């Protein structure tokens, strides 16, 4: 509060209120940008999880096919 003038009038208070509104607006914009970044990252992580599950299914199927073929070769 070092910028407090000796005579505080309504014009000074109005100016400070406008500065506060502008600061709040900037913070809201920053918050929206950060929220968008988090949502994008969250979507990326969900997509990555789905991809990993699909790869695991492929590997499980490959293991089962390999096991089946080896079992058939052992019987032959």
Tens of pLDDT, residue by residue over 15-52, are 999 999 999 999 999 999 999 999 998 889 888 889 99
| CB atoms near residue 12 (< 10 Å) | 13
Rounded to 5°, the CA angle 47-50-53 comes to 150
pTM of the model: 0.57
Residue given tokens 């492929």 in the structure block: 58
Task: Calculate the alpha carbon distances from 46 to 23, 43, 52 in Å.
Answer: 34, 5, 10
Per-residue pLDDT, 2: 60
Contact between residue 52 and residue 59 where contact means Cβ atoms under 8 Å apart: no
pLDDT, tens digit, 9 for 90 and up, residues 55-76: 999 999 999 999 999 999 888 7
């Amino acid at each position: 509060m070092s910028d407090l003038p000796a005579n505080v009038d309504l014009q000074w208070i109005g100016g400070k209120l406008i500065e506060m509104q502008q600061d709040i607006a900037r913070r809201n914009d920053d918050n929206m940008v950060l929220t968008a970044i988090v949502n994008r990252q969250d979507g990326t992580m969900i997509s990555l999880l789905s991809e990993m599950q699909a790869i695991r299914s492929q590997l499980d199927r490959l293991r089962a096919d390999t096991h089946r073929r080896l079992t058939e070769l052992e019987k032959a």
